[in-house]
Structure 1
Amino acid sequence: MIYVVATTQMKPEGREAFIKGHKACIAETRKETGCLSYEGHTSVNDPNVYVVVERWESREDLNAHARAPHMKVWRELSAPLKASPTVIEIISEAKVDKISA
């Protein structure tokens, strides 16, 4: 399983358009093969920080998501609404050995 946390600093004047535009992206992404969850959130501390939390069955599914037509549309729509580039962290499940106290 693959997790993704993508954080974007939105321009204050573009905040509403960014969030509205991402709702369409969310709806399309949730239909994709391998998408287990895909949600957008705003920071409690900074209303202009938008965080997408994703969960995918495999890296291949995530790679296909990046090439999806609606993602191209989203990238074009969101680019002028960002204050800085999106920071994307891809995380896999950690294999933790049993720890004894």
Structure 2
Amino acid sequence: MSEQALTVLARVRARAEKLRQVEETLTGLIGPTRREPGCISYALHQSNDDPCVFVFVEIWRSQADLDEHLQKPHLQAFVAAAGDLLAEPLDVTLWHEVQP
């Protein structure tokens, strides 16, 4: 049996005074991440109700591919800077698709 694809929801709340910097940083993650092996989908969304809230909706081929992603320099640089940019800690949850 093959490993099931993994969906990640990563919620980010920017500090209001850092909003533009956070948006630029997050959009800068998209290109490199989409080129990673195992990345099926990687999309950034911004809340209609609160422009400081973003969520990445990610789909990875496997847990191993996600684990590799988490070690990439572009992501590590964001994680290292997050404390100064974000109003609250990253909220990352893992999901799997339910099919009939």
Q: Match of 1:16, SS?
A: helix
**1:60 corresponds to 2:68:** no
Contact kept? 1:32, 1:65, Cα under 8 Å:
yes
**1:73 corresponds to 2:77:** yes
Contact kept? 1:65, 1:71, Cα under 8 Å:
yes
Q: CA deviation at 1:18?
A: 0.4
Q: What is the rounded CA distance, in whole Å, between the counterparts of 1:8 and 1:73 in structure 2?
A: 15
Q: What is the rounded CA distance, in whole Å, between the counterparts of 1:54 and 1:39 in structure 2?
A: 6
Q: CA deviation at 1:6?
A: 0.7
2:40 match: 36
Q: Match of 2:87, SS?
A: coil
Of 19, 44, 52, the residue aligned with 1:48 is: 52
Q: What is the rounded CA distance, in whole Å, between the counterparts of 1:70 and 1:63 in structure 2?
A: 14
Give TM-score, length-normalised by structure 1: 0.88
Q: CA deviation at 1:81?
A: 0.8
Which structure 2 residue ranges, 5 or more long, are not aligned? none
* Larger-gyration structure (1/2): 1
Q: What is the rounded CA distance, in whole Å, between the counterparts of 1:64 and 1:15 in structure 2?
A: 28
Q: Match of 1:40, SS?
A: strand
Q: Percent identity?
A: 31
Give TM-score, length-normalised by structure 2: 0.89
Q: CA deviation at 1:59?
A: 0.8
Which structure 1 residue ranges, 5 or more long, are not aligned? 97-101
Q: Match of 1:47, SS?
A: coil
Q: CA RMSD in A?
A: 1.2
